[in-house]
A and B are shown apart, each in its own frame.
Chain A
């Protein structure tokens, strides 16, 4: 049996390389001795018979409407996956489109798919830089953020607390939103590679649902050494001491 990771709309939603998280999940599954495949899905007819995890990356603002239209085809599927507990990682505008809506400065609101609570609202200027988040489930998450909007209404179930950077903004001190196994985050790019605990948690859920056991492989230990070094460097750049960044509670 093959673990099937869906990369949703990779042609539109891969601005910062976030769609590559699908390949990260597949690589880690293979290193663990499991069969895994990434299936790029641009339209509903591309959907494989089995879906074990989904990655939806971030796109350009100019393609928000196009991406929404493309996602609408999957509205029912996303609801079903969400209720069934299929892990879904949504990044940047991909996450925003799964929310209640995206408010644009001087433009009409883009109606969201309503899979995740909250909405994206314009911020004074674009936020780019290091983002460090303390989470109870995945430890300290480290990465980059690059977004033109804040996110409100995630207070009930954020991904974690911001240690450096902006995250959801509006003085919430929080980052991301979680609803069951559906997760939205501003952490773009290879967030799952740089935060192996996050990747392994998602893989654990996927494997569990498929009746498989997931235990990180030997190769993962080597590669996670590079991730550790990259995390240390970024924590230092963000002036967050590794110890101070450990989650509290």
Chain B
């Protein structure tokens, strides 16, 4: 009963917000409930019968969360989870309110939350987590995080809230250091790649600092093979073949993270077969490997969010792809930190667009990429790019930052994809 009045107010605000903006979920109800019942978020998050699982890190947390939820559900667990856009306090409370009964109780055996590395430490204050899984430490969004120490420090503050287990990427030296500082009664589970997989990524995996050694046999969940969108995990001597939502070693790592976290959560109940099946059924996502038919063309959309994903995704574009549109928007405040990446394999880009078009063109030009046209107006760039005849080699490929992706979807009317 304790939160009933706050819940009622939150519900009313949500109702009112929907009247103004049909279909829109909003962070406002969460903001209001947080204000009038500040204990609600903490108490609800700590109240799931089989506990709270938190996924955080610089990169890959959305995919890892999605995969973990799928694996747990495949084991018959009722999971509450947050949409990836609601991973800060207000959004999280709003997401809980969506599912809450009139007393504020949220149904579910277990909660799996994707947590923003910046806000997570604050949201997690006083919240009791069972398991915390950490993907990696990369310096992304330089406006928010000035260096990797800051990111590692924030992840450490999330990790100390775990009372049962912390799952870390063993190839990330910052996370290994963090794991060494944990209380001795908290179990540490590890995932990582084999030396062969690392060697196949000539530029490394994008971590601020890569551990000198790979996981030894039987000490964790290891990615032993990645072949396009197929991967093999080694789980203590058992080979587990899985399909990935799209090509790329980073997806195999997300799968290994989800697999080993699900194992930590389920213990004896964990089934490698059920996990493999669930992982293999994860669909491709718009902007992350999914091909979409647009205005009579097959178009591949590639989202770049930080230098590591930029490099991985640019490397995965088939050489000789003849038509590329490259758009960087206002979300990239200072593109400096993208400069160490190398886009020379693109060879030629048809149009560079977005509000940071000039910065992007400058960077590509110094990588030795030929640029046919710079068109800051993204709408015009998209129209002209799609009006051009189909390419002789490769598919039309659009590389964009998150802001340009949002604008692209709006412009092309691709509202269904999420």
Q: Which residue of A has the minimal Cβ distance to B336?
A: A189
Contacts of B374 in A (CB 8 A): 226, 229
CA distance in complex: A60, B151 (Å): 12
CA distance in complex: A246, B374 (Å): 26
- Asked whether B359 lies within 8 Å of A230 as measured between CB atoms, the reply is yes
- Asked whether A128 lies within 8 Å of B366 as measured between CB atoms, the reply is no
The stretch of B142-150, B165-173, B233-241, B296-304 in contact with A is B142-150
Q: Which residue of A has the minimal Cβ distance to B144?
A: A128
Check A60/B148 contact, CB under 8 A, given A16-B337, A17-B339.
yes
Contacts of B139 in A (CB 8 A): 15
* Interface residue ranges of B328-357 to A (CB < 8 Å): 334-340, 355-357
CA distance in complex: A177, B355 (Å): 33
Partner of B362, one of A61, A230, A232: A230
Q: Which residue of A has the minimal Cβ distance to B357?
A: A229
Main secondary structure of the interface of A (DSSP, over half): helix
- Asked whether B147 lies within 8 Å of A194 as measured between CB atoms, the reply is no
- Asked whether A226 lies within 8 Å of B358 as measured between CB atoms, the reply is yes
CA distance in complex: A148, B139 (Å): 17
Query: Min CB distance, B144 to chain A, in Å?
Result: 10
Partner of B340, one of A20, A222, A223, A229: A20
- Asked whether A20 lies within 8 Å of B339 as measured between CB atoms, the reply is yes
A-B contacts at CB below 8 angstroms, number: 82
- Asked whether A17 lies within 8 Å of B338 as measured between CB atoms, the reply is yes
A212 at the interface (CB under 8 A from B): no
- Asked whether B142 lies within 8 Å of A146 as measured between CB atoms, the reply is yes
Contacts of B358 in A (CB 8 A): 226-230, 232-233
Query: Min CB distance, B203 to chain A, in Å?
Result: 14
Contacts of A189 in B (CB 8 A): 334-337, 339
Q: Which residue of B has the minimal Cβ distance to A14?
A: B340
Partner of A16, one of B336, B362, B363: B336
Could you say which interface size class chain B belongs to?
Answer: 20 to 34
Could you say which interface size class chain A belongs to?
Answer: 20 to 34
* Interface residue ranges of A130-161 to B (CB < 8 Å): 143-144, 146, 148
Check A144/B334 contact, CB under 8 A, given A223-B365, A233-B358.
yes
* Interface residue ranges of B351-386 to A (CB < 8 Å): 355-359, 361-363, 365-366, 368, 371, 374
Contacts of A229 in B (CB 8 A): 357-358, 361, 374
Contacts of A15 in B (CB 8 A): 139, 147, 337
- Mark A207-249 against chain B: 1 for CB-CB distance below 8 A, else 0: 0000000000000001100111110110000000000000000
Contacts of A60 in B (CB 8 A): 147-149
CA distance in complex: A128, B361 (Å): 23
CA distance in complex: A24, B366 (Å): 7
Q: Which residue of B has the minimal Cβ distance to A194?
A: B362
- Mark A70-94 against chain B: 1 for CB-CB distance below 8 A, else 0: 0000000000000000000000000
Q: Which of B139, B143, B334, B337 has the most CB of A within 10 A?
A: B334
Q: Supply 7 A–B pairs (Cβ within 8 Å), ascending by A.
A: A16-B334, A16-B336, A20-B339, A60-B149, A144-B336, A193-B362, A223-B365
Q: A17-B336, A17-B339 are in contact. List 5 more A-B contacts (CB 8 A).
A: A23-B366, A60-B147, A128-B334, A223-B365, A226-B358
Q: Please give the residue numbers on chain A whose beta carbons come within 8 Å of chain B beta carbons, in ascending order.
A: 14-20, 23-24, 27, 60-62, 126, 128, 143-144, 146, 148, 188-190, 193-194, 222-223, 226-230, 232-233
